Amino acid sequence: MAEVSNRLNGIGEYYFSSKLREIEELNKAGHRVINLGIGSPDLPPHPDVIQALYEEAIKPNTHAYQSYKGSVVLREAVAAFYDNWYHVQVNPQSEVLPLIGSKEGIMHICMTYLNAGDGVLVPNPGYPTYSSAVRLSGGEILSYKLKEENDWHPVIAEWEELVQQFRDSGKGKVKLLFLNYPHMPTGQLPDKSLLAAMVDFAKREDILIIHDNPYSFILNDAPMSLFEFDAEKKVVVELNSLSKSHNMAGWRVGMIVAAEEQINAILRFKSNMDSGMFLPVQVAAARALQLDKSWFSQVNAIYSERKEQALKLLDLLGCTYASGQVGMFVWAKIPDNFLTGFEMSDAVLQRARVFITPGGIFGDGGNGYVRVSLCSKREVLEEAIERIKAAGNLKD
């Protein structure tokens, strides 16, 4: 039997992949688990987007391989979207690279820039894919802690210390820094003065910031791009996605916006990994990017109502939380009678048949927290509340 490669050492199955199997088994046994874990939008895209997909898909000439750089229609729509919403100027011909979901873009970036032993600053807590992609590409994770007492913002002095320690070790170069605001999983909004300082840090240290920006429109009235602080695109590569903002998670449409030099470098790797995105999906995505403010207002009104129920659920569990969070989750500190979010999540699942995400999957900086998704209807959240009430003491 062939042995797996060494690059899989330390890489486990994605947490939600294995957890969903456990939930599936409980459902087969008749328990009908309420899943408040994954942030997969349950709402549909705008009808015009679906219509655009249909109209393009029935054409006889839209089913061939597509350009590795993506359709001009989609790239121009991305550039217009950045201009309209973020007030950032983007050249659609040279500074946009469509992706089959932004998750793949994280891997493409790591494989493009990292040699074995190169260092990458990775947030803790943060999206687990950052760490996995760094490991798979041979890089070394330099974990930087985000703490509640700092409003889940990094401390630049700690970055400087990590970079200096890595240099002194003689292992390699610190090349990348992953950043994500509005932050997942904590829902923390960005601090503009701090973002400007982060860009200055990256310029001083010759580090490329990979800013993951898929949550800027969810329950947030002031969406922004990190290019606001790096208009010349010298040290920022920004990932964005239609998964959350446009209810298109299963469509797998994302993008990289960056300087031409970075786009061309990443394309050298990406063009060896896929053969482009289905053209009707690209045309429909372009239509989605043209939607006006009424779309986001409609979606956010639903999420706002759901958030009220999620906070009631967390109150019932004895959790505490910051009220100003944005995004499609609520992040909360567990009560003292549980040791970790894993313990609390398992107790809620076993006693109430409700699944909430343990914060520790995002790094040990999240061990004392849990996360509740807003991607379930109000009635489902209300039923989850009633189940938890009926379960009584979860700590017996």
pLDDT confidence of 16, banded at 50, 70, 90? low
**Final residue belonging to a domain, choices 271, 291, 311:** 291
Region 134-154: mean pLDDT is 95
pLDDT in tens, 282-314: 999 999 999 999 999 999 999 999 999 999 999
- Is the same domain home to 159 and 224? yes
Provide DSSP, 163-201.
Answer: HHHHHHHTS--EEEEEE-SS-TTT-PPP-HHHHHHHHHH
Region 370-395: mean pLDDT is 92
- Position 19 pLDDT exceeds 90: no
- Position 396 pLDDT exceeds 70: no
Residue 377 resides in a domain: yes
Residue 53 resides in a domain: no
- Is the same domain home to 78 and 204? yes
Q: In CATH, what number is assigned to the domain containing residue 345?
A: 3.90.1150.10
- Is the same domain home to 285 and 166? yes
Per-residue pLDDT at 377: 95
**Gap between the Cα atoms of 81 and 89, Å rounded:** 10
- Is the same domain home to 156 and 275? yes
**Gap between the Cα atoms of 109 and 132, Å rounded:** 13
- Is the same domain home to 88 and 191? yes
| CA 336 to mean position of chain CA atoms | 29
Per-residue pLDDT at 348: 93
Residue 58 resides in a domain: no
Asked if residues 350 and 239 have their Cβ atoms less than 8 Å apart, the reply is no
Per-residue pLDDT at 87: 96
- Is the same domain home to 133 and 165? yes
Of 19-28, 207-216, 225-234, minimum mean pLDDT range: 19-28
- Is the same domain home to 170 and 203? yes
Give me the chain's average pLDDT, please: 93
Per-residue pLDDT at 45: 97
Residue 273 resides in a domain: yes
Asked if residues 162 and 297 have their Cβ atoms less than 8 Å apart, the reply is no
Asked if residues 94 and 261 have their Cβ atoms less than 8 Å apart, the reply is no
Q: In CATH, what number is assigned to the domain containing residue 181?
A: 3.40.640.10
Residue 35 resides in a domain: yes
pTM: 0.93
- Position 150 pLDDT exceeds 70: yes
pLDDT in tens, 71-106: 999 999 999 999 999 999 999 999 999 999 999 999
- Position 249 pLDDT exceeds 90: yes
- Is the same domain home to 121 and 210? yes
| Contacting residues for 32 by C-beta, under 8 A, at least 6 apart | 353
Output 297 or 9, whichever has higher pLDDT. Answer: 297
- Position 4 pLDDT exceeds 90: no
**Gap between the Cα atoms of 85 and 256, Å rounded:** 16
Asked if residues 207 and 113 have their Cβ atoms less than 8 Å apart, the reply is no
- Is the same domain home to 218 and 101? yes
Strands (E), 19-78: 34-36
Residue 227 resides in a domain: yes
- Position 12 pLDDT exceeds 70: no
- Position 342 pLDDT exceeds 90: yes
- Is the same domain home to 240 and 94? yes
Region 322-344: mean pLDDT is 94
Range of the domain at 327: 6-44+294-391
Split into its structural domains, the chain has a count of 2
Position 325: which residue type?
A: Q
Residue 50 resides in a domain: no
Region 211-230: mean pLDDT is 96
- Is the same domain home to 147 and 178? yes
- Is the same domain home to 238 and 199? yes
Residue 56 resides in a domain: no
Per-residue pLDDT at 14: 65
